[in-house]
Amino acid sequence: MNFELTEEQEMIRQSARDYAQRELIKDVIERDTNAIYPTNHVENLKELGFFGIISDEKYGGTGLDYLSYVLAISEFSKIDSSIGVILSVHNSLAIAGIERYGNEAQKQKYLPHMTSGEKIGAFLLSEPEAGSDASSQHTTAVDKGDHYLINGTKNWITNANSGGIYLVIAQTDPEKKHHGINAFIVEKDTPGISLGPHEDKMGMRSSDTHSVMFSDVKVPKENRIGEDGFGFKFAMKMLDSGRISIAAQALGIAEGAYERALQYSKERKAFGKEISKHQSIAFKLAEMKTRIEAARNFVWKAAWEKANGKNFSMTGAMAKYYAAETAMFVTTEAVQIHGGYGYVKEYHVERLMRAAKLTQIYEGTSEIQKMVISRAILDA
């Protein structure tokens, strides 16, 4: 496997890194502290093409490969994982869901508005009683002939308020269980949709997260994605892709914390020399770097498999599991290396540690990833 990036991939990584290190860093602590949505950065990243980075050029996208996308998400997440999650949900779940499984009329109608960033996408799967168990959908979509009526509540929805296009998973025929689930494209301004309060989260506080409530929301029949009963399979396929995006976020968070810990260890002195020269700190840095390199290999391999049309379900789960564990380990060690300074906002690593925890939780906990991996092993 060739580990060298192409000129184009390196250019995308550098572009994302430059923006993150130059612009995101300026107000990231303020936005995190006060849970401020990054409106100005979102607008800038639209202009730079990151809101359509992996979509086909015929729909207004940039048309880049999946590894380029992963590189960008990681670079943004080194500084601000809120930007990482906003972009990932929009690109790898909402846009990709329509582009891969929607019909041509749906693609023509929605994708140009989404790739430009005019309409930001959200993916509505989780519910109060259906998080990891995606087959237990209590949101209903009753078939009324030429339209569906959707009722129910979705939880923990990224881009719920900023988004304009929702991909909604709902149960149409409970007797068929998961075979009766469908997926729908729903415009946010459709009558009957309301939002819960902004979630006061532990980490990634600059992204907007809300519950979304549906009360007799009328959705045209032509907005269903795929054949009747395709919704559960659709959700599972999209979660496979989503895991790579989360792995990329986790990798970036780990790299960001490691870079800060390394720099601090070369500046901070104790007992007459830089703390990096004390074996206890040097060994921490060695293990942090080793785990990051292993996580990067997982993430890049999963992205390469997806880009080349291979079955990436197991590799994606491995990448998500290991990168998230790595992010939690590295950020915790980064705080420890900083000592008391690591516990205050000014040095950034406590914020990165809070963000790392979320990568272990959403799109399935570590146990869910192990279940996906073990099934792939046993079914081989």
Active site residues: 363
Amino acid residing at 255: E
Strand-pair partners of 183 = 169, 225
Closest to 156 in 3D by CA, of 197, 214, 191: 197
Closest to 369 in 3D by CA, of 328, 326, 315, 329: 315
Are 3 and 71 in contact, with CB atoms under 8 Å apart?
no
Q: Where are the alpha helices (DSSP H) in the chain?
A: 7-19, 25-34, 39-47, 66-79, 81-88, 96-101, 104-115, 231-267, 279-307, 313-338, 349-361, 366-379
Neighbours of 269 (CB within 10 A): 11
Are 243 and 317 in contact, with CB atoms under 8 Å apart?
yes
Are 284 and 333 in contact, with CB atoms under 8 Å apart?
yes
β-strand 224-225 against 209-220: which pairing, if any?
A: unpaired
DSSP notation for 279-339: HHHHHHHHHHHHHHHHHHHHHHHHHHHHHTT---HHHHHHHHHHHHHHHHHHHHHHHHHHG
What angle, 0 to 180 degrees and rounded to 10, lies between the N-to-C axes of helices 349-361 and 231-267? Answer: 160
> Token digits for 222?
């032509």
Are 241 and 96 in contact, with CB atoms under 8 Å apart?
yes
The Cα-based distances of 153 to 96, 130, 138, 195 in angstroms read 23, 10, 8, 9
